Amino acid sequence: MSASDWWKGAVTYQVYPRSFQDTNGDGIGDIPGITRRLPYIADLGVDAIWLSPVFTSPMLDMGYDVSDYTDIDPTFGTLSDFTQLIEKAHDLGLKIIVDQVLSHCSDQHPFFRESRADRTNPKADWFVWADPKPDGSPPNNWLSVFGGTAWAWDARRKQYYLHNFLTQQPDFNFHNPDVQEWHLANMRFWLERGVDGVRLDTVNYFFHDPLLRDNPADHREKTQAEANPYGMQYHLFDKNRPENLPWIERIRALLDEFPARTSVGEMGESHHAIRMMGDYTAPGRLHQCYSFEMMGYDYTPEFFRSRIKDFFEGAPEGWPMWAFSNHDVPRHATRWAKHAITQDALAKQAAALILAFEGSICLWQGEELGQTDTTLSFDELTDPQGIAFWPEPVGRDNTRTPMVWDNSPQGGFSTATPWLPVKPPQLSRNVAAQAQDPDSVLNFYRHMLAFRRDTPVLRIGKTRFLDLPDPVLGFLRGDDLACIFNLSPTPVALTVAGLHGLIGGPSLAANLAGDTLTLGPNGVAFARTAGPL
């Protein structure tokens, strides 16, 4: 692989800055804290870090409501702190990918304040404005992800504006070419400061249907209303528009001006996410794209097999990034608990599983500890989505609680009361204790990451699935590396001819005697093959 293709098959570690390390005693993580902990991330063996937003923001959506795209929020530090972070990361061989929230901004952004003043100002058409229906109701049936209509009334303009998320997060009008040029300039600012890539938030939300047509109902049968009615629509007109793709190509052209840069798109779609990941990573578009497809509750061989096969069969020139968890969903150690013989066994199997997949990989901070969701009471919540839909679906605070570094009262995260609590179940799974235990989840992640790094077919080798009975998932990477997983808490034995001995380090609860492979609960087998399987 060339230096410009470093991202292909790479492993990225997602850092949520508010929850990683506090250095100034205010209970909120900051950029100097991330810089302090960079050796830990480098020692894990990952290739890159994705930073959730650190830009100026009122923090109503924890930084995903940006009010200044080219400065650092004082909560997190300064531009100088950011420069030091980049320099130290590069010294340690780590790449830095920054979140870019382009589809919407904060209502405190000066451009939105100008736009809402009247219908004739220079920024009047920079956001999505629409007249009410004759009865005063919103122009169509589009819904907000965070609940209710996606339209908010503004008395100054006597119009509605579009917000796919919070009312305080107005959507930019990407049909206006000036908006596109301005956002390209914002991204150029960070690329010139040395970042190695951009993660594009809600990459399928940029354009809307200019005719403002109603979305139809979701075509999938529903027996009852969903807790969040957003999922009851088929989102043909408020997102997923064909105009997104030429805009993505413009972003790629910008990135191609800078050596060895990459892009990652977040595909926020529940209907055709795998196909759309392929469309968005076709030549000349995004380098890689991930969706929430593997962040649900399915844990069956057919589920994982179908997602990987569907992607590479449908997009042979595209490239996926797979993730089991992130800052928006419950941690997979919690979601998949019923499939575990023990929490550690499941956490280790999940590490072996995802790090054996063809594609790039994203790990969510704390998953290398086998961390679980934190149980929070309503009064402890800060997440507007969690508050709006309490008690279900579970909001996002449960997965965002602070990183636990040691067994001190706040887990070594802060000397102050943290913005979200550190509770005993999470405190027990701290870095310091696991670093000393050779059998810990943390040390298994380190071993598995080294195995992937030192085994080229795990980064770029093709995948061929094996015909094995449930609950076993098996596939070959390249010509001769078999990867076999018992996705259940019950032992299994099966005949697999052609295996040429287990690879000891990454294999777990596995035994090979002749052609008989025995896998214990949540067992994992990596083996070289003596011939075709």
Catalytic annotation, residues: 201, 257
Which pair of structure tokens corresponds to residue 390? 């309490």
How big, in percent rounded to 5, are the helix, strand and coil portions of the chain? 30, 20, 50
CB 444 within 8 A of CB 351: yes
φ, ψ for residue 217, nearest 5 deg: -70, 150
CA distance 218 to 234: 4
Rounded distance between C-alpha atoms, residue 76 and residue 55, angstroms: 8
CA 98 to mean position of chain CA atoms: 12
Separation CA 443–CA 517 (nearest Å) = 25
**Contact indicator for 64, 201 with CB cutoff of 8 Å:** yes
Here the tokens at position 261 are 């840069």
Q: Of all helices (H) and strands (E), which one includes residue 513?
A: strand 508-513
Q: Could you give phi then psi for residue 225, rounded to 5 degrees?
A: -65, 145
Number of H-type helices and E-type strands within the chain: 15, 20
E strands present in 101-147? 129-130
Round to whole Å and give the CA distance between 239 and 164.
9
Written as six digits, the tokens of 428 are: 């027990």
How far is Cα 68 from Cα 85, in angstroms, rounded to an integer? 20
Residue 293's alpha-carbon distances to 37, 296, 297, in angstroms, are 30, 7, 10
